[in-house]
Structure formats: structure tokens, C-alpha cells
Structure 1
Amino acid sequence: MKIAVYPGSFDPITNGHLNIIERTIKIVDKLIVAVAVDSKKSTLFSAQERT
């Protein structure tokens, strides 16, 4: 089973993020998108809003 992890802050999520996700799910069995929090970065959306 192929598993991939895609970590990022995704704040905001972009078409580039979505493109990577769409291409990756075609070649792996499971994709884990890990929404991270960067305390040094000011955010537009809370972590809860991004999940």
C-alpha cells in the first residue's frame, strides 16, 4: 500500500495545493493532508477552519 503525507499550513489553500492533491491521489492508495500551524506566521484562517 502506497501512503503519502502532504504537510502544510494551507492558509489559504490554493489551486496549486489542490493540483498536487488531485495528482497524488491518482498514484497512491492513501493521502494524508496534514494541516500544520506555524506560530511565526500570521494566518487568515484558524486551524479548525482549515481542516
Structure 2
Amino acid sequence: MVPHLITALTGPINELEQRVLDTMPAIERWFRLEWMEHTPPFYSSVDIRNAGFKLS
């Protein structure tokens, strides 16, 4: 589920965001397989932010 946030710049989903949404099952599967093969780290953090005009 993807939250629908209201920003100053609204418009159609850009190509990168659509590719991520389309491949979400494959991405989730990859993470689950990697998690099973490796010892989980004590701590990790990943942020993907969409400011409406840039992705960082």
C-alpha cells in the first residue's frame, strides 16, 4: 500500500515510481530471499524520499 500524500507539485506518476510499483512483488521477493540467506544486521535504515520535484 502506498500512501497518497498531497504536495505542491501533483501530477501523473513518473516513470521511475511506476517501475518501482510494477516490480514491487519481485523486489519484495528478493528482500525476503536475501533475508533468509544472511544474518540480519543489528540495525539498518533505508530512506527513499519523493519531494515531488526530486527523488533522493
Q: Which has the larger radius of gyration?
A: 2
Q: Structure 1 length normalisation: TM-score?
A: 0.38
TM-score normalised by structure 2 residue count = 0.36
Report the structure, 1 or 2, having the larger helix content: 2
Q: Greater strand percent: which structure?
A: 1
